[in-house]
Structure 1
Amino acid sequence: MAEHADHAEHADHADRPAYPVGLRLHGRRVVVIGGGQVAQRRLPQLIATGAVITLISPSATASVEAMADAGEIRWERRRYQDGDLADTWYALVASSDTPANDAASAEAERTRTWCVRA
């Protein structure tokens, strides 16, 4: 079995199938970047896990806004900034802002944070 000391070839990742994992998120900090349709679909399942969820997005769908209004998630109405993933256990990067997605994904890689880029 070959060892991979350096994972510098990230371009290959998009062509590879994902490996399904079951993450226990109860009580863990989860950050969602983007408040659109992807967040709208995935937030209910994240909420059901008991995760402590922060949404970072200048705007959101009406359904996502309702989740924030109900206190199910904390919504920071702004764009992603470097450092937003500090102390984060899992990140969902799903905004329509490609540079923000790139930066958030890079931060997750640097900080060894579980991250899904949708």
Structure 2
Amino acid sequence: MSPGSPPPSGSPAYLSGLLLAGRDVLVVGAGAVVERRLGRLLEVGAHVRVVAPEATPAIAALDSEGRIAWRRRRFVDGDLDGAWYVVAATDSTEVNAAVAAGAEARHTFCVRCDDAPAGSAWTPATRNIDDVTVAVIGNRDPKRSRRLLGVIAEALGGATE
């Protein structure tokens, strides 16, 4: 198998657990997709910076509570400095591409919410069950990953969503 080509089965992603506690995470965008991602980032103790001209009320509330640092403006390349992990989740393909390119230049993993293969990382479907976090990552079929996660969670005695 050559680098970059998908494996014969399963996901092309190499699964790894990122320890982001106390580490800087940059999130570009502040819409519904970001709302869904922020909970887990905050649960694991990441220091989250959000860059977006506008945000959902829930994201604005997290900023008001001091749980995230929201910069109310457009993304600039320097925002990537110091980030260990990046999420590009705007409604602009051009901005997401610029975020991913800047992250790549810095050797920083980046999830592109609009075009997953164009990023360098993917976010798995996850569920906490007692003292275990279960994750499923497929070959870009997120609905299937969520269904499988539900089956696994139920088998382990965890709540289904």
Taking the aligned partners of 2:14 and 2:34, their CA distance within structure 1 comes to: 21
Taking the aligned partners of 1:21 and 1:35, their CA distance within structure 2 comes to: 26
What SS is found at the alignment partner of 1:75?
strand
Taking the aligned partners of 2:43 and 2:93, their CA distance within structure 1 comes to: 28
Mapping of residues 40-55 of structure 1, within 5 Å: 40-55=35-50
Which structure has more relative contact order (CA 8 Å, sep 6+)? It is 1
Out of 90, 99, 110, the position equivalent to 1:104 is: 99
Pair 1:30 & 2:25 matched: yes
- Aligned-pair distance for 1:87? 1.1
Pair 1:74 & 2:69 matched: yes
Moved over 4 A (4+): none
- Aligned-pair distance for 1:83? 1.6
Residue of structure 2 equivalent to 1:63: 58
- Aligned-pair distance for 1:17? 4.3
Unaligned stretches of 5+ residues in structure 1 = none
| CA offsets 1:2-29 (integer angstroms, 9 cap, x no match) | 5x5xxxx7xx78xx74443311100100
- Aligned-pair distance for 1:38? 0.8
CA RMSD of aligned residues (A): 1.9
Taking the aligned partners of 1:102 and 1:48, their CA distance within structure 2 comes to: 28
Unaligned stretches of 5+ residues in structure 2 = 114-161
Residue of structure 2 equivalent to 1:113: 108
Identity %: 43
TM-score by structure 2 length?
0.62
The structure that has the greater radius of gyration is 2
Residue of structure 1 equivalent to 2:89: 94
- Aligned-pair distance for 1:99? 1.3
TM-score by structure 1 length?
0.84
